[in-house]
Amino acid sequence: MKSAVSGSSQRAYWLKKLHEWHWISSAICLIGMLLFAFTGITLNHAGQIESKPRVETREGQMSPELLPPLQALQAGLKDKPKSEASPEFPAPVAAFIRSEMKVDVSGRAVEWSDDEAYVPMPRPGGDAWLRVDLKEGAMEYESTDRGWISYINDLHKGRNTGGAWSLFLDVFAVGCLVFCITGLLILKMHSERRPLTWPMVGLGLVIPALLALLLIH
């Protein structure tokens, strides 16, 4: 009798703990799961969702005093391995570009060629770039905004989102694993009184497996 009572109380203890972890993980992941479920639909129908990119262009002229140092920097990079080459604009150049073009290039990698310095600035939901002609000093900037659907789709994929969002995706993935595993264990503990539990779980495995094997080529 004691053994039965002890087993029952132990089961109740672990069921309570599983419910606690399940609701905590679901609360933490709720908004993220809604976002990822919605963007799963938008990504699956990306070709059917029309978007009109908004393109903005600006032009300017590099300061004559700053152009020779840029040319000297570019010439000095020719004989250096890419790993040793300075990838950024000098601080005075970055400050001038920020003032003249209203574009912040501080800390961004620069792609150097014989005739120009090119700064790619990709971001979620859009793209941008800045080009500086190293001979004439002409500056050209272009920014493309593909809209909020493209933005949240890129968040889903972690495209051009940076380290902080990448860390969030890892934490979110762990939270989803906790949510699913605790849900599975709760199903197991209730399965004796719910005979459809394992057939339904099996369908969740068999249906996508059959679709992948038979209909995806």
Mapping DSSP to helix (H, G, I), strand (E, B) and coil, where does residue 196 land? coil
Which of 139, 142, 144 shows the shortest CA–CA distance to 89?
139
Q: Which of the four pLDDT bands, split at 50, 70 and 90, describes residue 2? A: low
| The pLDDT value given to residue 1 | 52
- The angle subtended at Cα 169 by Cα 33 and Cα 104, nearest 5°, is 120
Domain parsing of the chain, residue ranges: 2-49+153-215, 54-146
pLDDT over 70 (residue 73): yes
Mean pLDDT of 174-197: 92
pTM, 2 dp: 0.81
**What is the average pLDDT value for the chain, to the nearest integer?**
90
CB 97 within 8 A of CB 103: yes
Taking the C-alpha atoms of residue 184 and residue 178, their distance in angstroms, rounded to an integer, is 10
- Residue 108 CB partners (closer than 8 Å, separation 6+): 88, 89, 119, 120, 121
Name residue, tokens 């038979």: 214
pLDDT over 70 (residue 86): no
Taking the C-alpha atoms of residue 147 and residue 168, their distance in angstroms, rounded to an integer, is 23
First to last CA, the chain: 59
The pLDDT tens digits for 119-150 are 999 999 999 999 999 999 999 999 999 999 99
